[in-house]
Amino acid sequence: MALSNPAAQPSIRRIGVIGGGQLAWMMGPAAQRLGLDLVVQTPNEADPAVAIAQAAVLAPVDDVAGTTRLADQCDVITFENEFIDCAGLQPLADRGVIFRPGLEVLDLVLDKRHQREFFARIGLPNPRYAVLEGTESEVELHQKAAELGFPVVMKTRRLGYDGYGTVVVRTPEDLVGTWNGFERNPVLLEEFVPFTKELAIMVARSATGEVALYPTVETVQVNQVCRRVVAPAVVNPWVAETMAQLGRTLAEQLDLVGIVGMECFLTEDDQVLVNEIAPRTHNSGHYSLDACATSQFEQQLRAVSDLPLGSPQLTCAQAVMVNLLGLAESEASHQQKIAQLQQRPNATLYWYNKGIRPGRKLGHVTLCLGVEDDPVAVAEEVEARWYGEA
């Protein structure tokens, strides 16, 4: 007897995307290739993805009325931004609106504490941490930090991104001041991991349980913001294998339909500790646009619209992605640097057309490399051209 697949949805053609920044913008070409329409929910007409979408609901990403209008126009809703109002959206899910990934996945990642508790439940190793609700005494704060050992890392539990909301506390003297800086909101206090590398992996999963694992990449952060990604990461084979296993476990245990990014620390003794996850496309996967058979953006669209997943294989020996953050320079100077970088062989530059602000992610460049190339040297050269560093 043939079993019907209850998860498969009849012909999903119109995809609602909550968020209209660069991640949704980069879905544009893939959606076109796959014959899918994109409708984005984003606050401003000038947001990058409005230009590539078939329609836009101009509303903040956590505006439930906006998502209700989005749902009326779409077969499925997916995310490029997780800062939504999960509880507010639940009535939509209850009346049959399909969210992929499901709201329970979004709810889980919205609070770093819930993420950590989930990691523990499913056996994903992660840094030691303590929870602060904000009501503790300063004595309790000091006790918790002392148990972890200095330095400790204080992190906002909700709405942190790109290191906003993450502070390394080096000495006990800085503890209370840092906590006050967080207005004593709920935070995680975490051991500082003296990592040798930061690693990341993208994992896609379909409603039928098909899983596509991208290569493990190395990410380099400057001031807690991703500066560079090297694919594949140069690690022991068992580290890459561990990343793949943890990534698969994560996607399966989340019952994910969509794509998830997993960011990890690699310790000196080659242990992988999971730092955080994002149930959407991720900066660490941008290289896939130019260096993989199927980009992370196409893969997300495939997963949420019940198309077979594509191959996540690299199509070149290695690749490097460098983020182009806003500089304290004129627009003309940014444009001049863009023109220079575009001339570099094997380089593809993406400029998101966002307002220039120092430190803001404005674009990225990917370079596909051969086996003989040194990705770090290439990245350093590109970074020197953009950031003017030696």
Contacts with ligand ADP by CB under 6 A lie at: 127, 153, 155, 160-166, 190, 192-193, 198, 221, 224, 263, 275-276
Q: Residue 283 or residue 288: which is nearer to ligand ADP going by CB?
A: 283
CB proximity list for 89: less than 8 A, separation 6 or greater: 64, 67, 99, 103
The distance of closest approach from Cβ of residue 278 to ligand ADP in the complex, given in angstroms and rounded to an integer, is 9
Q: Residue 81 or residue 275: which is nearer to ligand ADP going by CB?
A: 275
DSSP-assigned letters across all residues of 282-315: -GGGTTHHHHBSS-HHHHHHHHHTTPPP----BS
Q: Residue 278 or residue 303: which is nearer to ligand ADP going by CB?
A: 278
Rounded (10°) angle between helices 112-122 and 103-110:
110
Q: Residue 92 or residue 379: which is nearer to ligand ADP going by CB?
A: 379
Q: Residue 92 or residue 266: which is nearer to ligand ADP going by CB?
A: 266
DSSP-assigned letters across all residues of 231-300: ES----HHHHHHHHHHHHHHHHHTT-SEEEEEEEEE-TT--EEEEEEESS--GGGTTHHHHBSS-HHHHH
| CA–CA dist 216, 87 (Å, integer) | 34
The distance of closest approach from Cβ of residue 170 to ligand ADP in the complex, given in angstroms and rounded to an integer, is 12
The distance of closest approach from Cβ of residue 75 to ligand ADP in the complex, given in angstroms and rounded to an integer, is 31
The distance of closest approach from Cβ of residue 160 to ligand ADP in the complex, given in angstroms and rounded to an integer, is 4
The C-alpha angle 54, 59, 62, rounded to 5 degrees, equals 115
CA distances from 268 to 265, 272, 277, 328 (A): 10, 10, 22, 36
The distance of closest approach from Cβ of residue 237 to ligand ADP in the complex, given in angstroms and rounded to an integer, is 24
Q: Residue 148 or residue 347: which is nearer to ligand ADP going by CB?
A: 148
Q: Residue 67 or residue 284: which is nearer to ligand ADP going by CB?
A: 284
Q: Residue 47 or residue 198: which is nearer to ligand ADP going by CB?
A: 198
Nearest CA-CA partner of 125 in 271, 279, 284: 271
The distance of closest approach from Cβ of residue 376 to ligand ADP in the complex, given in angstroms and rounded to an integer, is 17
The distance of closest approach from Cβ of residue 275 to ligand ADP in the complex, given in angstroms and rounded to an integer, is 5
For residue 30, the surrounding DSSP H or E stretch is: helix 28-34
Q: Report whether 266 contacts 217 (CB < 8 A).
A: no
CA–chain centroid gap for 9, Å, is 26
The distance of closest approach from Cβ of residue 145 to ligand ADP in the complex, given in angstroms and rounded to an integer, is 13
How many other CB atoms are found less than 10 A from the CB of residue 192? Answer: 15
Q: Residue 191 or residue 298: which is nearer to ligand ADP going by CB?
A: 191
Q: Report whether 260 contacts 254 (CB < 8 A).
A: yes
| CA–CA dist 58, 42 (Å, integer) | 5
The distance of closest approach from Cβ of residue 100 to ligand ADP in the complex, given in angstroms and rounded to an integer, is 23
